């Protein structure tokens, strides 16, 4: 059964690719271009998973993580952070902000689905 | 699902489109930095960082390795800068500018499917490296995948895993059950749950972690694979992974059967046992290190946290095709509306009055829709202007000149169709200013008492329904002596010709004119200013030049705001109807017979307040029967053409002003001389839109053909008018008297006449 996934990235290319991959795997995808838009899209609705970039205008990915965790509705929604940096710093920051896991770029469709599978029932 | 199901190539177009936008943003912000290095806006640095970050992210997905490599170092430097670890100096800013140029080149190369020779940018790369990583030669992208060697010990291993989750694990939405599922995928798993920590149900807190687990995993997979299962939770649990002694053969024998039914994953890269042991130790120690306390949320990013309340401009991306279709349909709607409106006049009066009111409203709404749709396509000229700083930098470096570019009015909006056409002439104007306008060397400037740094100013503004793009430089101005001698040499003007300063300046737009002694690789791209003028004029625009010797030169390019609709005057010639663009019309008049003169070559002129204006007889150019041939009984529409000259177009009558939808002749038919486009009138008839510059050129050519219908007493030994301005002044034979007739106002006609 498909998941309802919110993909957040300021790059349309990246959103398109994430979206395409997830849809290909039978999931439903909502999109947002930054943290603010993501919170608007989320509203009071539940999603099964949030995938977000870190560096975005208006509201970055880490702030988005904290905002989502602070909301009782989404407190336990898995959040995956897309990072380019393979170093531990960004991962720790992500974790500190409440992220569930991370996907290290470059973007790779198989890897994405693998990780999604890892954090979603 | 196979890799082919996820062919990412289809996203390349979006990526490059996005890159183009991102680069414009970066350019603009870099220009900000350049002008104000002492007082840097943090958001500028953040935004440039994000640009490079996004470029790199996409490049990685498409395996543009060269681009990824460079973007990585550039990004790292920007990251250090935005964290305040690197002082922003002029040198740094200029390095960033160069880096941005290289990034642009690499993106272009990736788009073209070629690679850029490394030596082209290795210097900059090293400089960036040094600043970003403090080293000269770092491998830009660490690739752990390829360094992994295959596991020499491929046999079954038994892993003993002790896993004690902390509450954070659940709070981060990780789920122990999913980890168990994941491990089951690796091999044969035995799970033991330890419920010692479980309190009395009344004390139970929902997001506290009470269970802990001991796993026994028998699998062929590497330690790395096992660790990967716990990748996201290593900090949120106490984890111990040990490998049971390899010589524990009984276990291996026992589990052989099972592992065959659930084959372990072997696709993942494996590391040598030596390294995995070291990692195992590290992994076991890791959990004992207390995880850092979560940073205080509000303090972390106050600006970002505050932004949700701030009003946001929301926008959507729409395919240009769709907008174009809409514009076209609205055009059709306007035409249909006008057609219906005309039919109303044929109705009986009482019905007509009733309908008229409705049509008035309909007309208003249609017009409003049209304006709204046109507004959708309006874009700030910023996208074109953003390319200019780089051009100026590169040219200045190539020419050894010191030039600063100032821009203003980049938010001035103009239709997308115009934007697309704006770039080439603008680039040419800028090249011209840098190459010819500004003094040869900074020293030359100091000698004439000017600051070393030359200023080129680029601005855009709306003026009476058109957009004006103005390029000003503070260089030496046009060298009129040189221009004149060149023009004489090239046969554009005759040696004894008397020209005003403005007329001499205007010569640089003459076909075949170039003052540069030899074609430089800067200005001379095989395209002269004459081509620029022709291209602009094809868009219904004008270009003119003003120059003050020693002070500088100013180019003014004036273009319509849109190429989709036009405010025009409908005129009739015989049974034909034509449209003349309102912006080019100066006045309309019916000349008296005494004001009409005929040149020896058959050209007609009309004298108007002391100036002579060439007449263009439409009926003759287009062979229209039954037109009014006597100018004193017809009307002359005086229009302005290239270079501020005027010509009079002979028409039968003016039918009224109307906004018309422009239909391209090139696209729907073929180009026609003297006609710029077509439109459909309210009665469904096609009317042609006149190209006044083209008409003038045609009239000059046609004039030497004798038109027996019109010319009864043609003088046979007349001088032919040629297309170029050499023939502007001709010894002419007007009626009985012999005078020189200058045909344009800038030739200061009367003075010349008296001299002769």
pLDDT at B741 over 50: no
The DSSP line for B495-511 is TT----HHHHHHGGGST
Q: How far is it, in rounded angstroms, from Cα B581 to Cα B696? A: 15
Q: Do A16 and B144 touch (CB under 8 A)?
A: no
pLDDT at A87 (0 to 100): 56
User: Which among B606, B615, B599 is positioned nearest to B740, based on CA atoms?
Assistant: B599
pLDDT at A7: 93
Distance, in Å, from the CA atom of A41 to the CA atom of A29, rounded to the nearest integer, reads: 11
Share of chain B above pLDDT 70, in %: 78
Instruction: Identify the closest residue of chain B to A120 by CA–CA distance.
Output: B178
pLDDT band at B197 (very low <50, low <70, confident <90, very high): confident
Question: Mean per-residue pLDDT for A74-101?
Answer: 79
Query: Which residues in chain B are closer than 8 Å to A99, comparing Cβ atoms?
Result: 172
Q: Which of A3, A5, A11, A53 to mutate to test the interface with B (most CBs of B within 10 A)?
A: A11
Q: Per-residue b/e over B299-328, b at no fewer than 16 CB within 10 Å?
A: ebbeebbebbeeeeeeeeeeeeeeeeebbe
The sign of the torsion formed by the CA atoms of B57, B60, B62, B68 equals positive
B301 touches chain A (CB under 8 A): yes
Q: At residue B401, does pLDDT exceed 50?
A: yes
pLDDT at B729: 32
Q: Would the pLDDT of B264 be above 70? A: no
Is residue B141 within 8 angstroms of chain A, CB to CB?
A: no
pLDDT at residue B240 greater than cutoff 50: yes
Residue among A17, A25, A108 minimizing CB distance to B11: A17
- B72: confidence class by pLDDT, cuts 50, 70, 90: confident
User: Among B182, B282, B284, B180, which residue's Cα sits nearest to residue B241?
Assistant: B284
How far A117 CA lies from chain B's nearest CA (Å)? 9
Query: Considering only CB atoms, which chain A residues are within 8 Å of B300?
Result: 62-63, 66, 97
Band of residue B298 on the pLDDT scale cut at 50, 70, 90:
very low
Coil, strand or helix: which one is B636?
A: strand
Which residue of A13, A57, A92 is in closest CB contact with B58? A13
Q: Are the CB atoms for B490 and B512 separated by under 8 Å?
A: yes
| CB pairs A-B closer than 8 Å | 149
Confidence (pLDDT) at B479: 85
B513 at A interface, C-beta within 8 A = no
Please, which residues bridge with residue B639 across strands?
Answer: B585, B647
Q: What mean pLDDT comes out for the span B303-323? A: 59
The confidence score (pLDDT) of residue A85 equals 61
Edge-to-edge order in the sheet of strand B635-640: B585-589, B635-640, B646-651, B611-617, B604-608, B596-598
Is A12 a residue whose pLDDT tops 70?
yes
Nearest chain B Cα distance for residue A114, angstroms: 10
Contact call for B61 and A105, based on CB within 8 A? yes
CATH 3.40.50.2300 describes domain A4-119: yes
Of residues A1, A21, A2, A4, the one with CA closest to residue A78: A4
The two three-digit tokens of residue B40, written as one number: 């840097």
- Interface residue B144 vs chain A (CB under 8 A): yes
Mean pLDDT of A42-71: 87
pLDDT of residue B424: 83
Closest CB to A79: pick one of B8, B57, B173.
Answer: B173
Q: How far is B177 from chain A (nearest CA, A)?
A: 9
Instruction: State which residue of chain A sits closest to B300, comparing Cα positions.
Output: A63
The tens digit of pLDDT for each residue in B86-126 reads: 888 888 888 888 888 889 888 988 888 888 888 888 888 88
Kindly list the residues from chain B whose CB atom is less than 8 angstroms away from the CB atom of residue A82. 57
């Amino acid at each position: 059964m498909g998941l309802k996934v919110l993909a957040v990235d300021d790059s349309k290319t990246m959103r398109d690719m994430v979206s395409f991959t997830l849809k290909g795997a039978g999931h439903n995808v909502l999109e947002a271009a930054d943290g603010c838009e993501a919170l608007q899209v989320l509203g009071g609705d539940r999603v099964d998973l949030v995938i977000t970039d870190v560096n975005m205008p208006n509201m970055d990915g880490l702030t988005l993580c904290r905002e989502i965790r602070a909301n009782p509705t989404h407190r336990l929604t898995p959040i995956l952070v897309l990072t380019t940096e393979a170093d531990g710093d960004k991962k720790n920051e992500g974790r500190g902000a409440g992220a569930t896991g991370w996907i290290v770029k470059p973007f790779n469709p198989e890897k994405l689905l693998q990780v999604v599978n890892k954090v979603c029932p | 699902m196979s890799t082919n199901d996820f062919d990412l190539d289809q996203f390349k177009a979006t990526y490059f489109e996005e890159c183009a936008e991102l680069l414009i943003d970066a350019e603009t912000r870099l220009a900000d930095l350049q002008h104000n290095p002492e007082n840097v806006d943090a958001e500028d640095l953040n935004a440039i960082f994000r640009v490079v970050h996004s470029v790199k992210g996409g490049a990685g997905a498409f395996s543009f390795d060269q681009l990824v490599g460079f973007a990585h170092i550039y990004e790292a430097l920007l990251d250090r800068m935005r964290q305040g670890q690197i002082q922003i100096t002029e040198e740094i800013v200029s390095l960033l500018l160069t880096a941005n140029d290289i990034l642009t080149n690499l993106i272009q190369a990736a788009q073209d499917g070629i690679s850029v020779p490394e030596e082209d940018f290795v210097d900059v790369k090293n400089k960036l490296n040094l600043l970003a990583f403090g080293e000269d030669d770092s491998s830009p992208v660490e690739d752990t995948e390829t360094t992994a060697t295959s596991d020499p010990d491929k046999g079954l291993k038994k892993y003993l895993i002790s896993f004690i989750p902390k509450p954070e694990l659940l709070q981060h939405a990780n789920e122990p059950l999913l980890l168990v599922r994941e491990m089951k995928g690796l091999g044969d798993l035995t799970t033991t749950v330890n419920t010692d920590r479980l309190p009395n149900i009344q004390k139970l807190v929902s997001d506290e972690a009470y269970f802990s687990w001991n796993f026994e995993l028998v699998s062929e997979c590497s330690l790395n694979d096992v660790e990967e299962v716990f990748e996201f939770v290593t900090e949120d649990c106490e984890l111990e992974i040990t490998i049971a002694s390899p010589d524990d053969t009984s276990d291996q024998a026992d589990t052989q059967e099972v592992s065959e039914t659930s084959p372990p994953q072997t696709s993942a890269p494996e590391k040598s046992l030596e390294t995995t042991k070291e990692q195992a130790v590290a992994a076991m120690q890791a959990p004992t290190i207390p995880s850092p306390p979560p940073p205080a949320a509000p303090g972390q990013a106050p600006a970002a946290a505050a932004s949700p309340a701030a009003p946001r401009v929301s926008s959507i991306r729409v395919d240009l095709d769709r907008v174009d279709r809409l514009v076209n349909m609205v055009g059709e709607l306007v035409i249909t509306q006008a057609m219906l409106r005309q039919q109303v006049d044929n109705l009986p009066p009482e019905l007509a009055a009733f309908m008229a009111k409705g049509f008035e409203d309909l007309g208003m709404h249609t017009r409003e829709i049209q304006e709204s749709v046109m507004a959708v396509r309006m874009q700030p000229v910023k996208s074109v202007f953003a390319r200019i700083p780089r051009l100026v930098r590169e040219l200045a470096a190539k020419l050894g000149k010191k030039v600063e570019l100032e821009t203003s009015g980049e938010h001035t909006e103009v239709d997308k169709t115009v934007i697309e056409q704006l770039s080439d002439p603008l680039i040419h104007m800028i090249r011209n200013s840098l190459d010819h306008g500004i003094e040869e060397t900074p020293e030359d400037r100091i000698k004439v008492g000017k600051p070393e740094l030359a200023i080129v100013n680029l601005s855009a503004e709306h003026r009476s329904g058109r957009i004006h793009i103005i390029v000003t430089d503070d260089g030496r101005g046009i060298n009129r002596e040189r221009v004149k001698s060149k023009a004489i040499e090239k046969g554009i003007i005759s040696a004894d010709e008397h020209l005003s300063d403005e007329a001499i300046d205007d010569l640089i737009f003459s076909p075949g004119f170039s003052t540069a002694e030899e074609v430089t690789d800067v200005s001379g791209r095989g395209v002269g200013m004459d081509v620029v003028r022709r291209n602009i004029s094809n868009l219904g625009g004008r270009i003119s030049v003003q120059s003050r010797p020693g002070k500088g030169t100013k180019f003014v390019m004036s273009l319509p705001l849109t190429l989709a609709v036009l405010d025009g005057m409908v005129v009739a010639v015989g049974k034909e109807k034509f449209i003349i663009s309102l912006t080019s019309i100066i006045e309309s008049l019916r000349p008296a017979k005494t004001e009409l003169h005929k040149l020896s070559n058959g050209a007609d002129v009309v004298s108007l307040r002391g100036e002579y204006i060439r007449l263009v007889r439409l009926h003759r150019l287009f062979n229209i029967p039954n037109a009014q041939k006597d100018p004193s009984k017809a009307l002359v529409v005086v229009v302005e053409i290239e270079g501020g000259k005027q010509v009079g177009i002979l028409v039968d009558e003016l039918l009224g002003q109307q906004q018309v939808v422009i239909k391209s002749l090139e696209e729907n038919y073929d180009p026609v001389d003297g006609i710029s486009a077509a439109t459909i009138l309210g009665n469904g008839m096609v009317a042609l839109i006149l190209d006044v510059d083209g008409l003038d050129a045609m009239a000059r050519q046609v004039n030497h053909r004798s038109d027996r219908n019109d010319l009864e007493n043609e003088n046979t030994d007349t001088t032919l008018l040629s297309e170029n301005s050499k023939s502007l002044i001709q010894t002419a034979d007007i009626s009985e008297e012999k005078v020189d007739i200058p045909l344009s106002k800038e030739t200061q006609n009367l003075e010349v006449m008296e001299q002769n």
